[in-house]
Structure formats: C-alpha cells, structure tokens
Amino acid sequence: MTAHHSILLKNIRQPDQHTLAGAESRGAYSTIKKALQIDPLKVIEEVKTSGIRGRGGAGFPTGMKWSFVPRNSGKPVYLINNADESEPGTFKDRLLLENDPHLIIEGMLIAAWALQSNWSCIYIRGEYGYPFSRAKKAIEEAYAKGYLGKNIFGSNFNHDMVIHRGAGAYICGEESALMESLEGKKGQPRMKPPFPAVSGLYQCPTVINNVETLANMPFIIENGGKAFLSIGVEKSSGTKLVSASGHINKPGVYEIDMGYPMKRFIEEECGGIWQGRKLKAVIPGGSSVNIMTAPEIEKVNMDYESLRLAGSSLGCAGFMVLDETTDMVEAVLNLAHFYAHESCGQCTPCREGGHWIEKIFTRISRGQGLPGDIPLIENVCAQIGGHTICAFGDTMILPYLSIIKKFPEEFKERIGEAIRGQVKPREYLNVVYDGAH
C-alpha cells in the first residue's frame, strides 16, 4: 500500500500556485468546464460513487448529503465552505487556503453546479488572516476572469461567491452555529431537525462542506468516482490530509491513502518520535476524540472504520503525538482550559460543567487534589454527555474520560501527594468550595 497518492497536495509546493495564472497553467478550472456539460444530478451520482465522506470530522457521505437538497422548493440553494478550522491540532485546510485557493474555488463551483446553487460563501476562521487574504485575492482573480459572476464559462450558469471571517468562536465550526453567525446573530447551535439541507441559511436549503471535502471535487469529476473509490479502503475511500504535530521529528501536513497503518505513519512519514524517546499516546483526530495509548495503535489504520473499532475517531485528522515525558494531568488541563473557554453558553450542562471540570483539573495539577475528585469529574461528565443541543458537550468529555481511564496512575499519584500533606486541613474547605464551584 502506498501513502503517496497525491490529489490535494500535488501542486502545493509550486510558488505561484496561489495565483490564477499559476493554477491555470497546471489545469485549474478545466474540470468545471466539463462539469457544466454534465447533468447536475449525474454529478451528484459521481460523487456518491466516489464514496467520499466529509473531511471536517463527522465523516458523513458527501453525495448523500447533496441528494437531500429538495429540487423544487422555490427557494435559493446556498453552499457554504466551512473553513472555520479551529479544532486543536488541525491546520490542513490552512495549507490549501494559503497555497492552492483556486483548487477550492473550482471544487465549490462543481458543488454549486450539482446543487444548482447561485451563491456560496467561504466561512473562514477569524484568526486566519493570511489564508483569508490569499483566498480573497483568488476570488477577486476568478471574478476578473469571468469564472465567477454571470454566465460563467458561457454556460448560462450564474454563481456569486463571498468570503466571510468569523470572530474567533470555536463553536462556529458547528454547522448550525456557523449559519447563525452568517445571519448576523450570536454563534450558537440550532435544534435539529430541521436539517440544513431542507432549512438552513435564512431557512433555505443549504449544504455545508469542509475545505478538504470540496477540494477533492475536481479530481472526482475529472477522473470519475470509481478512480477515487479505488484509493483507500472500503467505507473510507480516497486520500486524507493529516495535520501531524507533537513529539515527532517531522511535523507538518501529510496526504496519505485511507487505511495507512498508524504506526508506520509515525515511524516513516513523521520521522519517528522526537529525540529518540518512546511513544506514550496519540490523539488521532483533533483534541475532541478518545486518546490512544502506544500499545493500542500497533494494528490500527488511518481510516474511519479502523479507528472507530479501536475506540477512537479519525475526526478531522488533527494527529497529535505525545512522548513518554508528557504529563497527562497537565495535558488534560490544557484541553479543559480550551473547552471551558469555548462553550457558547447556550446549554447549562456544557456552560457550567466545562468550567467545573476545569477547576477540578486545576486543583489536581496544583497538588491540591481531593480523594473524590476523579469520581466527581466522571459524574459531571455524565451530566454533560447527551444533555446538550449540539455535540460540543458530547465530544468535550471524550478526552477527559479517556485520559483518566488510560492514565489513572498519574492522577492517583498527584492526588495522593495532596492527601499526604500538601493540602493542610484548614485549607480543605477553601479548596472544595473555591476550586470546585
């Protein structure tokens, strides 16, 4: 099995690939011209044939999502490119936005034709200043050349595209919060149903796809869905961009075939563990998935099904490697700070529980842990999971519970130190009430 089918990163090192002239010299916009000659429903069928699943984290079949859009609603259909790449450990979409934005625009145009959408938006993470300027410039170039706007490529198909910057809210990566933000409201998730395909942006049919998902469309339509399906493994076709970081010798963005062995990926692609140390754990899909220990990754492959069966998730492939020197108490506290801060505040369990858990982990890390702290965290997590409008609460608790479960000795040791005298009796009540509430 090769790791080197290059679909998305084929031209990423070309210094002028971000420009229209450079991208076009390497075939950009040739596929959309062909797609405009194909019946839109056949384009959707080709995407279904490819088996591509959403690359933003959920892994939902893209062609199926497109087929949910009603054809005769009498309302406009909106296409949104979710470029709000805010999951800790993830930076793959940024690479495409900076270095090959025209690939993304062409992919969006193919999707827009398939959906018969005349308006699309790139909703980009607010902190992505440089990627924003690159993508904005690419859109302007496409308009100047007539590739966006009225009667594109002489097809009588009209399409307008805008780019919109978020304001730094992690929750706006969740599709309904993203739409609320685009409508000028507070970025908080909506109750479902209705689902976006039926009633999304401004109560109109809406499709939301990730940057990486849409960037695959030119390859799929140019080469056929079966060509994409032939790469990877069953139920996880094509290639996957992986944001590799942490204690490895070669951090960066890698494009691998789905199904690539995880251990081999660390040893060969990532150059092994930094400074010759031992592997301790891996967070394979961005911070909101279950952590995996070194023994657990021995026979795991990089695809949706393999990681699901191993008890974790491929997610958005924010691949973080932790070596033997990592303090898991400090690691989980770092995550707790992030998630407590990023709750949108709409649901009480998430809004209050996130901060409560953060305070307990803080107490443990300071050597002020109490005997009942771990059961208390587990109890609070049980009150959060399954009790919130969106999946933020459900996924926030995954790293907490999995790290506690798989590295219990580190928490017991820290709490044991506190019990053996680091917390004086007179401080006990202050620790309980100031630290836990």
Supply 98's token pair: 């900076």
Instruction: Report whether 251 contacts 242 (CB < 8 A).
Output: no
Residue 58 has a pLDDT of: 83
Q: How many contiguous H segments (helices) and E segments (strands) does the chain have?
A: 19, 13
> Who's near 177: CB < 8 A, 6+ residues apart?
169, 171, 187, 188, 189, 190, 344, 390
Residue 2 has a pLDDT of: 46
Sign of CA dihedral 66, 70, 72, 75: negative
Write a three-state SS string for 212-268. HHHHCHHHHHHHCHHHHHCCEECCEECEEEEEEEECECCCEEEEEECCEEHHHHHHH
Classify domain 20-229 at the CATH superfamily level. Answer: NADH-ubiquinone oxidoreductase 51kDa subunit (3.40.50.11540)
List pLDDT tens digits, range 309-338.
999 999 999 999 999 999 999 999 999 999
Q: Which part of the chain is CATH 3.10.20.600?
A: 234-318
Q: Which part of the chain is CATH 3.40.50.11540?
A: 20-229
Instruction: Report whether 89 contacts 130 (CB < 8 A).
Output: no
List pLDDT tens digits, range 144-195.
999 999 999 999 999 999 999 999 999 999 999 999 999 999 999 999 999 9
Looking at residue 131, its amino acid is P
Residue 433 has a pLDDT of: 39
Alpha carbon distance 4, 11 (integer Å) = 13
- The helix (run of H) or strand (run of E) holding residue 309 is helix 304-309
Supply 284's token pair: 């394979």
Low-confidence ranges of the chain (pLDDT < 70): 1-3, 421-437
Supply 11's token pair: 């031209």
The CATH code of the domain at 234-318 is 3.10.20.600
Sign of CA dihedral 257, 262, 265, 268: negative
Q: Say what angle helices 40-50 and 101-115 make with each other, to 10 degrees.
A: 120
Residue 421 has a pLDDT of: 61
Q: Which of 200, 201, 169, 204 is nearest to 187 (CA)?
A: 169
Assigned CATH class of 328-436: mainly alpha
Residue 3 has a pLDDT of: 54
> Who's near 187: CB < 8 A, 6+ residues apart?
166, 167, 169, 171, 172, 177, 178, 180, 181, 344
> Who's near 79: CB < 8 A, 6+ residues apart?
108, 111, 112, 115, 117, 119, 120, 121, 206, 207, 209
> What number of other Cβ atoms are within 10 A of residue 71's Cβ?
11
Instruction: Report whether 404 contacts 378 (CB < 8 A).
Output: yes
- Alpha helix stretches (DSSP H) within 343-407: 348-365, 373-384, 392-406
